[in-house]
Structure 1
Amino acid sequence: MSQLNSVWVFSDNPERYAELFGGAQQWGQQVYAIVQNTDQAQAVMPYGPKCLYVLAQNDALQRTENYAESIAALLKDKHPAMLLLAATKRGKALAARLSVQLNAALVNDATAVDIVDGHICAEHRMYGGLAFAQEKINRPLAIITLAPGVQEPCTSDTSHQCPTETVPYVAPRHEILCRERRAKAASSVDLSKAKRVVGVGRGLAAQDDLKMVHELAAVLNAEVGCSRPIAEGENWMERERYIGVSGVLLKSDLYLTLGISGQIQHMVGGNGAKVIVAINKDKNAPIFNYADYGLVGDIYKVVPALISQFEPLIPLSTTSPAVNAAGREHNACRMTNLMPLWSVRALLVALPHWSWHEPGWMSW
C-alpha cells in the first residue's frame, strides 16, 4: 500500500487521537495534528506528530463547529491530502463545513481506508448497515471521519518532541456560542477496546435480571453491552454500552450474545468480533446466521448454569480484588491467565447437558 505525503488529524474528543494517529501513520508519510488547547497538545505529542497546531480562542464554551473557518484557513496553505476526524456528532458537523469551504470530498463513519495507486479509497456503511459502499476519492483533499474501533491505537513515545504553532481564530459568519455545559453521567466503559463482551437483548425480561448477566461477565472477565432497545427503549443500560449501527463497533476476541435476535442494525456493530457465540431460545433467530457457535436455549437456564460451571474453575486471588454485582471477589487477571483469548471450547464443554444440534450448533 502506498502512502500519502501528509495526513492531518483533529478530534473534538481527545480520547480518539490515539486511534486517529494509528490510521494516519499507516496512510501518510508525515502526520500533523490540530488540537484545541495546550493541555491536549502535551497529551497528543507522544503520538509522534511532525508539528502540532493549537487553535486560538479555545474558550470552554466554544462550539467545535466554530473552528471550521480557522482550520480551513490553515489547511489552504498546507495542501494536505487527507484530514482525519473522529466520527462524533460534532466531528461530522465540522467535517461538513470544512468540506464546503475547502471543496473537499467527505466520507463519514468510514470503516476502512486504503491507498491504492495514490488514490484514497474509503469504505462506509449505508442503508442503516444493510450494505457497505466503497468510495474512490477524486478530489485533492479527502476529509474522512473515522468510526470508533476501526483502527488500532498507535503507541506513544514520551520522548518525542515537535514544534507547536498557534492557529489564529477566524470567526464564522454566524457564530453560535454555548452558554452552559452540564456534566453528563457516563459509563467509563469503552466496548470498542474490550477483548470479551457479553451482549444482552430483548430476551431479558426485567432490569433486575441484568444482575446475572453482570455476574457471568465478571466470571469471564468481560464487559457488558446491549442492543438498542435495552439502552434507548428500556433505558436499562448506559448509551455507551449500545452495540450497533449508530453505537459501538466491536473488535473483541469474543462476543457472547444473550437473547439478541441479530437484526442487521445490531450486527453491524457486533460482526467485527473474532468469535460470536449466540444463545437464543428461538432457533430461527437471525443471530444464528452470524454466529460461529449457536445454542438454542433459555438464557434463564443457560446463564446460571454457565456461572455455576465456570466459577469453581477460577481460584480467587487476594491481589487487586474487585467486587462484582453478587458481592464475590474476582481478580481481573485470573480468567486471562486461565484461558488466553477465552477458549470457546471451554464454554462448549462446560455443561454436560448440552448436545450438538448441527455442526457448530447446540440445543438445550
Structure 2
Amino acid sequence: MNKTPNAFVICAKNARFADLIPGAASLGNSVSAVFVGSAAEAGNVFGLGAGRLCLLPAKPGYIFEDYAPSIAAAIKAAGKSVVLLPNDRRGKAMAAKLGALLKAAVVNDVMGVEEDCSLAHMVYGGLAVGRRQSQSDVTIMTVGGGVFEPATASVGQGETVELGFVEPAARITLVEVKPKACASVDIAKARRVVAVGRGFARQEDLALAKSLASAIDAELACSRPIAEGELWMERERYVGVSGAMVKADVYLAVGISGQIQHMVGARDCKTIIAVNKDKNAAIFKFADYGIVGDLYKVLPALTKALKN
C-alpha cells in the first residue's frame, strides 16, 4: 500500500488516540495528533506513534467544531494528507466542516482500508459494503472503534506545536455545559461481551444481563435503540454500524433481533450466542449457538449455572 505523506488524527477526547494513531501510521508517513487543550490532556501521543502534537488552547465559549478553520489551515499547509477522526457526533461534525473548508472527500463509518487505498464503509443502512477511492489531495474519514488495533503506549519523543487560531466565519453560541456520564470501558477491546437489546422491557431489568456479564467476566454492551433511543446505557457501549466494532471471543446477544446494522459491529466475534423468544429472529442466522426462550427465565437460569 502506498502511504500518503501526511496523516492527521483529530480527537475531542484522548481515548481514541490509542487506535487511530496506529491506524494513521499505517496510512501516512508522518503522523500528527491534533487536540484542543493542553499537552497533559492530550496524553502520551508520541508513545502511540505520533511524531507531532498539534495543540489548540481551549477558548471559553467555543465548541469543538469552531476550531475547524484552524485545523484546516494546518492540513492545507501540509499538503497531501489523510485525516482520521472518531465516528461519534463530534468527529462527524468536524469531518463535515473540514471537508467543506478543504474541498476534500469525506467518508463516514470506515470499516477498513484496502490494498488499493479504497475505503470500505457501510451503505444502505448497513445492508451492503461500499468502497470509495478519494480523488482529492486530502481524504477525511471517521472510523469506529475496533477497526484499527490499539497500541500500547511506550516511551516516545516528538515535536509539540501550537496551531494559530483562525476565527470561524460563523459560530454556534455555547449557552451551557452539563456533565455527561461516559463509560470508561472500550468495548472494542473486550474479549467477552454480553449485549442487550429491546427485548428488555424496563431499564432496571438490565440487572439480569449485568449479573450474567459478571458471572463470565464480560463487558456489557447494547444495540443502538438502548443507547440512543431509550438512553438506558452510555453511547460508548453501543455496538453497530456507527458504534463500536467488537472482535470478542464470545458475544452473547440477549433480546437483540439481529438487524444487519447491529450485526455489522459483531461480525468479527469468534463465537456468537443468541437468546431470543422469537425463533424466527434474524439473530439466529448469525449465531453459532442459540436459545429460544424468554430472557426473563433464561438469564437467571444461565447465570446460576455459570456461577456453579
Pairing partner for 1:127 from 124, 137, 141: 124
Asked if residue 271 in structure 1 is aligned to residue 267 in structure 2, the reply is: yes
| 1:233 Cα deviation from its structure 2 partner | 4.4
The CA deviation at 1:251 is 2.3
Structure 1 residue 115, shift from structure 2 partner:
4.3
Of 124, 133, 136, 1:136 maps to 133
Offset, 1:297:
2.9
Deviation at 1:107, TM superposition (A): 0.8
Match of 1:294 in 2: 290
| C-alpha contact 1:8 1:80 (8 A) present in aligned 2 | no
Q: State the partner residue of 2:7.
A: 7
* Cα distance in 2 between the residues matched to 1:206 and 1:178: 34
SS of 2:145's equivalent?
Answer: coil
* Unaligned runs of at least 5 residues, structure 2: none
TM-score (structure 1 length as normaliser): 0.78
Residue aligning to 1:225: 221
Residue identity matched to 2:185: V
Structure 1 residues 254 and 61 mapped into 2: Cα distance closer, same or farther (>3 Å)?
Answer: farther
Secondary structure at the counterpart of residue 47 of structure 2: helix
Find the counterpart in structure 1 of residue 207 from structure 2. 211
Q: Contact between 1:260 and 1:280, CA under 8 Å: does it hold in 2? A: yes
Please state whether the residue corresponding to 2:26 is helix, strand or coil: helix
Whole-Å separation in 2 of the counterparts to 1:208 and 1:76:
50
In 1, the alpha carbon distance for the partners of 2:208 and 2:64 equals 41
CA distance in 2, matches of 1:164, 1:228: 38
User: Where does 1:242-253 land on structure 2 (aligned, <5 Å)?
Assistant: 242-253=238-249
Partner of 2:89: 89
Q: Are the counterparts in 2 of residues 197 and 224 from structure 1 also a CA contact under 8 Å?
A: yes
Distance 2:231 2:72 in 1: 40
Unaligned runs of 5+ residues in structure 1 are 313-364
Q: How does 1:339-358 map to 2 (within 5 A)?
A: none
Q: Report the identity percentage.
A: 45
Deviation at 1:122, TM superposition (A): 0.6
How many residue pairs get matched? 307
1:195 maps to 2:196:
no
Alpha carbons 1:3, 1:115 under 8 Å: kept = no
Higher Cα radius of gyration: 1
Pick which of 277-286 and 222-231 moved more: 222-231
Give the conservation status (yes or no) of the 8 Å contact 1:27–1:115.
no
Q: Which moved more, 1:80-89 or 1:39-48?
A: 39-48
* Cα root mean square deviation, aligned: 2.1
CA 1:233–1:254: 2 relative to 1, 3 Å: same
Any idea what the Cα deviations from partners look like across 1:169-204, whole Å, max 9, x if unmatched? Answer: 011112334233111123333322221111222333
SS of residue matched to 2:44: helix
Instruction: Please give the secondary structure, in 2, of the residue aligned with 1:46.
Output: coil
CA contact (8 A) 1:196 1:255 kept: yes
| Superimposed CA distance per residue, residues 121-147 of structure 1 (whole angstroms, 9 cap, x where no aligned partner) | 111112211111110112222111112
Q: State the TM-score, normalizing by the size of structure 2.
A: 0.91
